[in-house]
Amino acid sequence: MTPHFLAAIAPGALETASLGGGSWWRVMGGLAVVFGLLFLCLKLLTRYGKRTGAAQARLLTVWHLGPRREIQVLRLGDAVSYVYRHENAMVMLKQETWDEYRRQYGDAATGPVSGATIPPAVARLFNPLTARLNRPGA
């Protein structure tokens, strides 16, 4: 039994000559044109799509407070954010400008990411937080 949508098509309409069964050179030429255009788009994207914001968003340092608890210092543009991160949440603790952060930490501000100990000035800032987290029942 023939499906009803095929019954409406004339039997001679499905011949390979009427469907474009031309030479395989035409098919290969079409594929070459498509791949050439894809290659050209890739070259244009790599040339004009360079990411210039990589230096503007980065992780400056990480201060480990315990298992799965840390303070991350993130730079996003001209803002530096102190983020407390624990198992299933992140809390913004403080935010300052990049110039203030650089004035406070000097050359260490532009160095690589480190797991250094917390500087005393920052430790004093976060003492109430760590005392609250280390309290029994918290």
Q: pLDDT for 120-135, tens place per residue?
A: 666 666 666 655 555 6
Nearest to 79 by CA among 99, 93, 63, 64: 99
Q: Please provide residue 6's backbone torsions phi and psi, each rounded to the nearest 5 degrees.
A: -85, -25
Q: Which two tokens stand for residue 56?
A: 């503007």
pLDDT in tens, 24-59: 788 889 999 999 999 999 988 888 776 655 557 788
Q: Rounded to whole angstroms, how far apart are CA atoms 53 and 129?
A: 33
Q: Where are the beta strands (DSSP E) in 32-120?
A: 57-66, 69-76, 79-86, 89-97
- Rounded Cα gap, residues 106 and 120, in angstroms: 15
Q: How many CB atoms lie within 10 A of CB 73?
A: 21
pLDDT value of position 76: 86
Q: Which residue has 């009803």 as its token pair?
A: 4
pLDDT band at residue 7 using 50, 70 and 90 as cut-offs:
low
pTM for this entry: 0.44
CA 34 – CA 129 distance, rounded (Å): 60
Q: CA torsion angle for 60, 65, 68, 74 (degrees, to 10)?
A: -20
